Amino acid sequence: MNISTISAKIAGGGRIDADEAWALYEKADFHELGHLAHQVRLRKHPDSVVTYVVDRNINYSNICVCGCRFCAFFRSPGQDGGYLLSREELAQKIEETLALGGTQILMQGGHHPDLPLSYYEELLQFVKSRYPIHIHAFSPPEIVHFSRLEGCDVATVVARLRTAGLDSIPGGGAEILVDAVRKRVSPHKCSAGEWLGVMAEAHRQGLRTTATMMFGHEEEPRDRLKHLFALRDLQDRTGGFTAFIPWAFQPDNTALRCPPATAVAYLRLLAVSRMVLDNFDNLQASWVTMGPRVAQLALHFGANDFGSTMIEENVVAAAGVHFRLSIDEIRRVITAAGFRPQQRTMAYQWVE
């Protein structure tokens, strides 16, 4: 398959198929890949703006019955170090976030063995009744877990959480959307079909969501592309995804033995994602896993968003990676790459 033919197709705004994506991923020259992805990004966002969101990752609990092999964050029920945040702790974290100009919280947690759905509903009502803040919470595996514990379907869980104040759903827990891989690395987590099903249902009920990919563990390179095409197909049907966020698996303190994905591997995947996901408006760079230098370069490899300021982050930190960036530093890095920094909301509306 000829790379220049595929390049011409992309430059002309055409959609690439799985074979063409694979040819680019395998064979295209590094700069050519970055250049093509950047052209697609500039077509979608011609104003040279790079956005970011001021938010805080709040993990309500690390107690989890899922036991994924790639996770350094969870504690099994009864194990030392397990916690469940109190209302007071949660309130304090939200007040700090608002004081720092934050507009949203990203709230996720482990698969707790015995909290009823009403616990999460009351949590949402508690936050919404007190604070003017967007709640981006409960990834699809949590929602599937809630539905099993509660003995009701996913549509009911989504509807009840939405009524209680849920504003949008984060794209976590997607890992690699190929069941053969999931069976190896996260055998107790929801299937690829269930993950996509939660997102389809959320979109149907009017909730926007993001999508992630965690790569660089036990998957094959072709599995990454299958993941991208599964997302593209769903987005064709619903249009509910706001952004795609690929990030590299961090192996420290986990049960998987493999070296961390390199920067070149990350940038190649990001660029191919930009070209495959022609129906996604936004791609986020991951400074939390790749560091500010590589994340800045990612703005020339297809990303148009610098993600979150991460006032708090626990999951990647548990895997031994501790990058920290202030809002000023994020703005400086974006500016130095030749773009204009702009704070946004979860729905990618600008915050003035």
Partner 1 sequence: MLDSRCYEELGLASVLAKVQSGERLTVEDGERLFVCPDVNAVGALAHAVRSRRHGNRATYVMNQHINYSNICVNGCRFCAFGRRQGEPQAFQLSLEDVVEKVRERLDQPLTEIHIVGGCHPDLPFTYYEELIRAVKTSRPGAYVKAFTAVEIAHFARKENCSTGEVLGRLKTAGLDMLPGGGAEVFSPRVRQLLCPEKVSGDEWLRVVREAHAMGIKTNATMLYGHIETHRERLEHLDALRRLQDETGGLVCFIPLPFQPANTQVEGVQPTTGVDDLKTIAISRLMLDNVPHIKAYWIMLTLKMAQVALHFGADDLDGTVIEEKIGHMAGAQSDQALTRAELERVIGEAGFVPVERDCFFRPVTHVE
Q: How far is the CB of 27 from partner 1 (least distance, A)?
A: 10
Helices (H), the chain: 3-11, 18-27, 30-44, 87-99, 117-130, 140-150, 154-164, 179-185, 192-204, 221-238, 263-276, 287-298, 315-318, 327-336
Half-sphere exposure of 77 (CA within 13 A, CB side): 7
For 105, residues 6+ apart whose C-beta sits below 8 A from its C-beta are: 55, 56, 57, 58, 93, 94, 97, 127, 133, 134, 135, 136, 137
Q: How far is the CB of 40 from partner 1 (least distance, A)?
A: 13
Closest to partner 1 by CB, 2 or 163: 2
Q: Taking the C-alpha atoms of 252, 253, 257 and 261 in order, what is their torsion angle to the nearest 10 degrees?
A: -30
d(CA 312, CA 324): 9
Q: Under a CB-based contact definition with an 8 Å cutoff, are residues 121 and 160 in contact?
A: yes
DSSP-assigned letters across all residues of 29-64: -HHHHHHHHHHHHHHH-TT-EEEEE-EEEEESB-B-
Q: How far is the CB of 57 from partner 1 (least distance, A)?
A: 22
Q: How far is the CB of 273 from partner 1 (least distance, A)?
A: 17
In the DSSP assignment, the letter for residue 152 is: S
Closest to partner 1 by CB, 178 or 297: 297
Q: How far is the CB of 335 from partner 1 (least distance, A)?
A: 9
Q: How far is the CB of 221 from partner 1 (least distance, A)?
A: 12
Q: Under a CB-based contact definition with an 8 Å cutoff, are residues 49 and 25 in contact?
A: no
Closest to partner 1 by CB, 88 or 328: 328
Closest to partner 1 by CB, 125 or 262: 262
Q: How far is the CB of 310 from partner 1 (least distance, A)?
A: 17
Closest to partner 1 by CB, 220 or 329: 329
Closest to partner 1 by CB, 37 or 123: 37
Q: Under a CB-based contact definition with an 8 Å cutoff, are residues 337 and 296 in contact?
A: yes
Q: Tell me the chain's radius of gyration from C-alpha atoms.
A: 19
Structure tokens at 315: 């999951």
Q: Please give the residue ranges that form the binding site for partner 1 (CB under 8 A).
A: 29-32, 34-35, 38, 259, 262-265, 267, 290-297, 300, 329, 332-333, 336-338
Closest to partner 1 by CB, 30 or 350: 30
Which residue, 344, 287, 352, 334, is CA-closest to 103? Answer: 344
Closest to partner 1 by CB, 92 or 262: 262
Q: How far is the CB of 333 from partner 1 (least distance, A)?
A: 5
